[in-house]
Chain A
Amino acid sequence: MDILKEVTNSDYKYGFYTKIDSDKAPKGLNEDIIRFISAKKEEPEWMLEWRLDAFRQWQKMAEPNWAHVKYTKPNYQDISYYSAPKKKKTLDSLDEVDPELLKTFEKLGISLDEQKRLSGVAVDVVVDSVSVKTTFREKLAEMGIIFCAISDAIKEYPELVKKYIGTVVPKSDNFFAALNSAVFTDGSFCYIPKGVKCPMELSTYFRINEAGTGQFERTLLIADEGSYVSYLEGCTAPMRDENQLHAAVVELVALDDAEIKYSTVQNWYPGDKEGKGGVFNFVTKRGICERNAKISWTQVETGSAVTWKYPSCILKGDNSIGEFYSVAVTNNYQQADTGTKMIHLGRNTKSTIISKGICAGNSEGSYRGLVKIGPRAQNARNFSECDSLLMGNACGSHTFPYIEIKNKTAKVEHEATTSKIGEDQLFYCNQRGIPTEEAIALIVNGYCKDVLNQLPMEFAVEAQKLLEVSLEGSVG
């Protein structure tokens, strides 16, 4: 049992708080706050109207409670909806960035330095939902790729933003998406022109720093015909006793023959051993595939006190492909209700779902997924596999797959298993001189391999380490 105790002792190493002067809006949510945010961001009139419309719709909506999670609903009037590291003037080069901020990112192991070129990753950094720095912007621009903060995009490329924002996740899609649409403060925007293969991994790094704030970022990624992009996202937050709200929206648009690979390593603060504090991660992610397009979601979810997240694919075009690979680890009092939606509308559409859940401590992990085959989706194909691994007898694992088929040519397979780490597997490792600790890491890694293999290399290493930290000392 000592070993089980150790699990809960594994530390969250990103839990520090950096003192950075910040601009914070007063707490509360009303139309004035939205006007304030919009004014702060120097947004055009149409954007403000769009936000206000979303806010009015949000007011009419009720917070969903169908997910298999329990939490005290946040008081939406007790959150500050705008917090930004104070800028003295516009940043021209890295030297002008607040040194405190730079130190923060050194601690996080993310170099904003353009040395990062060596690893070939362009980074957009978002602190408290304001983009502070985007690297490689110029270099990418040479190829016609636009990669910048969404607030800049609204000003600089209004026609693109206007054309696509809210088309994949409508303003009134759900409670949290509506809230996000009303108050989002920043996020990343990316446009890949026709036929361009993005030469480097694009990446956004999110961090909540200030207390009493929520993070509401919005990502819009458009891959024009025949283009390709691989996109990564990572996140951390300081340790706090209170629950912080993170309600993001991610929209992906893959036009004809385009391919988008979207990877997430989510490591928000999960709360302490008693389940106090932690981030509420209520995220709406969705992508739309036109003809021959492909969207692939890969996620490694280890953080957050409560996760509510269903990255989805709308397979609208013929021959389009949707993929979802997920590892969700919950420990202590974490709760995760996550999965995907694959909506087949076009002919010959294919989707694959591989979901691996690992539950330890007193946590609860749920897979909730929808596979829907529309009446016109001839020859649609889906394969789903949802496995859960349980460690300890106080945790719970659940599977809620919804399968709705309206076409007789559909081929759909779903399978799920729940078990613990096999005693014989452990014994086999022990026999060969591998200590139990390492054996578990080995087995868990093997169990998640299908998903980890999908991650870009830089992230795969990080994700593997993260898994080890999250489950340190766990014995089934």
Chain B
Amino acid sequence: MDVFKDKLLSSFIVFENQLNGQKKQPFHQKRRDAIDVFEQKGFPTIKDEEWKYTNLKPLFNKDFNVFHPGEDSLEFSDIRRFFLSESDTYKIVFINGIFASWLSSTTHQNYDICTFSAALERHRDVIDKYVGTIARNDESLTALNTSFAKEGAFINIPDGKVVDRPIEILFFTTNSDNNTFIQPRNLVVVGKNAECCIVERHQSLGKQLTVNNSVTEVMAHAGAQVTYHKIQNDDDNASLIDSTTVKQERDSKVTVHTFSFGGKITRNNLEFDLTEAGAEAHLYGVSILDKRQLVDNHTIVNHMVPNCYSNELYKGIYDDNARGVFNGKIHVHPHAVKTNAFQENNNLLLSDKASIDTKPQLEIYADDVKCSHGCTIGQLDEDALFYLRQRGIGVKEAQALLMLAFTTDALKEIKIPELKTKLNRLIARKLNVNLDFNL
């Protein structure tokens, strides 16, 4: 890992020199501070309590390309299948970390749905106000992302505006001779009583190793409503480290759905700060893994003030040699009374080689609270299977039906019909059955 770390540190100097004028902007100081943090901390190891079950060493022992050439041969028809809709969504598309304007449909009308690099030019005030203030800068991989932060999605919705269609953010990586390391940086600012709905996806199109170290900051002002979907169904050579931090003000409601269906290593750091009364956070996760895939979900909900609500539901199905990790923490700060927090994690193990490590935590410093968590690990119910088979349903289909039923609680809150259809197809393919009905 040290070799790659050194490469990153020297790449930072090269990166700095490419910035030209931007070097003098106040934002660049944040990058410099962040690279110092990364230099000091390095990549996390399994000795870190937060990385106990996920070893990054085999991943970062390899060499990666940090800078990527532009790619313009990709046509929309090649990648149409990864989109929700051809025309009914806003799209921000990146290829190898570089914005692909011909595949995107952005807007500056009523609200800004564009790129981080464009915002660095046009919306410096917004960038300076929010970037780095929500994310955990002391976390080394977040710091690494901050130090190279230049490109990604930028969504800024002014007070009272409702975005009329879903926003799709897609990150593609194409074939390359060397392994690919990209670091998207996203910022989502949703003003008072504004609303938006986002679908994010990372997709590798090449055969080389790919690592995405993605950081997203979401600011939900008073009364804002944000729904964020993450589809993680990548190639077996692709890994994703996704750190998403959400800050919520009074009466805002933020829902994050995480669907992990594939990828070599998928690590989700999802953290919520509920900073004003009435804030509501919903976290849903569905992981269906097989082969040698690993998904590691780390969530933290910080109840910092009284009268906030959080609800977390994660479901996991693990087959073959797949590994699941769940680490959910509810942190109730002193005086955050009348907190209502709930957390549930259910897992199914389908094979002898699959394993699950789960650690649901409560850290509570206030007395008048209602906090609970539940966690189960088990198998499909024999009786239910028998019931279905008795009625002429094949083993595979019966199992798939039960698994679908198992995940359905975590899927029912999805509001976009196209997304439902898409997930339905993904799950069916993952379970290797034809489902003749929709979720």
Q: Which residues of A contact B (CB under 8 A)?
A: 66, 375, 388, 390-420, 476
Q: Which residues of chain B from 335 to 387 have a CB within 8 Å of any chain A CB?
A: 335, 337, 347, 349-352, 354-379
Q: Closest 3 CB pairs between A and B?
A: A408-B349, A390-B367, A412-B377
Inter-chain CA distance A394–B362, complex, in Å, is 16
Q: How far is the CA of A162 from the CA of B184 in the complex (A)?
A: 61
A416 touches B360 (CB 8 A): yes
The answer to whether residues A402 and B349 also contact, given A412-B377, A416-B372, A416-B373 and a CB cut-off of 8 A, is no
Is B334 positioned at the interface, with any CB of A under 8 Å from its CB? yes
For the A-B complex, the count of residue pairs with Cβ-Cβ distances under 8 Å equals 110
Could you list 16 further interchain pairs (A-B, Cβ under 8 angstroms) beyond the known A396-B334, A403-B359?
A66-B49, A388-B364, A392-B367, A393-B367, A394-B334, A399-B361, A403-B358, A404-B356, A407-B349, A407-B352, A408-B349, A408-B351, A410-B377, A412-B375, A414-B373, A418-B372
8 CB-based A-B contacts, threshold 8 Å: A396-B365, A402-B359, A405-B358, A410-B378, A412-B375, A413-B374, A419-B369, A420-B368
Q: Write the chain B residue with the least CB distance to A365.
A: B364
Distance between A13 CB and nearest chain B CB, rounded to angstroms? 28
B371 A418 Cβ-Cβ under 8 A: yes
Chain A residues whose C-beta falls within 8 Å of the C-beta of B350 in the assembled complex? 408
In contact, B375 and A415 (Cβ under 8 angstroms):
yes
Q: How far is the CA of A394 from the CA of B333 in the complex (A)?
A: 11
Binding site secondary structure of chain B: strand
- A-contacting residues, B171-186, CB 8 Å: none
Tell me, rounded to whole Å, the shortest Cβ–Cβ distance linking A400 to chain B: 5
- A397 and B368 in contact (CB under 8 A), knowing A375-B352, A403-B357, A412-B376? no
Which B residues have a C-beta under 8 Å from some C-beta of A? 49, 334-335, 337, 347, 349-352, 354-379
Output the nearest chain B residue to A391 by Cβ-Cβ distance. Answer: B367
CB neighbours (8 Å) of A408 from chain B are 349-352, 354, 379
Instruction: State the CA gap A338–B81 with chains docked (Å).
Output: 52
Q: Most chain-A Cβ atoms within 10 A of its Cβ — which of B49, B334, B373?
A: B373
Given A399-B373, A411-B377, A415-B372, also A404-B367 (CB < 8 A): no
Contact (Cβ within 8 A) A413 B375: yes
With both chains docked as a complex, state the minimum distance between the C-beta of B322 and any C-beta of chain A, in angstroms: 11
CB-CB under 8 A from A394, the residues of chain B are: 334
Task: Provide the bound-state CA to CA distance between A410 and B354, in Å.
Answer: 12
Separation in Å of the A406 CB from the closest CB of chain B? 5
CB-nearest residue of chain B to A373? B377
Please measure, in the bound complex, the distance between the C-alpha atom of A403 and the C-alpha atom of B349, giving whole angstroms.
Answer: 14
> How distant is the Cα of A375 from the Cα of B321 in the complex, in angstroms?
12
Contact flag A413-B355 (CB < 8 Å), given A419-B369, A476-B367: no
Chain A residues with Cβ under 8 A from B375's Cβ? 401, 403, 412-415
Min distance, Cβ A190 to any Cβ of chain B, angstroms:
36
| B326 nearest in chain A by CB position | A403
Beta-carbon nearest neighbor of B363 in chain A: A398
With a cutoff of 8 Å between Cβ atoms, the chain A residues found around residue B358 in the complex are 403, 405
The complex places the Cα of A405 from the Cα of B318 at a distance, in Å, of 11
**Residues of chain A within 8 A of B369, CB atoms compared:** 390, 418-420
Whole-angstrom distance between the alpha carbons of A406 and B356 in the complex? 7
Q: Please determine whether B371 and A417 come into contact, CB atoms closer than 8 angstroms.
A: yes
| CB atoms of B357 and A414 under 8 A apart | no
With a 10 A CB-CB cut-off, give which of A395, A409, A411, A416 has the most chain B CB atoms: A416
Docked Cα-Cα span, A401 to B49, in Å, equals 13
Chain B min CB distance to A114 (Å): 48
Q: How many Å lie between the Cα of A388 and that of B372 in the bound state? A: 10
**Is the pair B379, A397 in contact by a Cβ cutoff of 8 Å?**
no
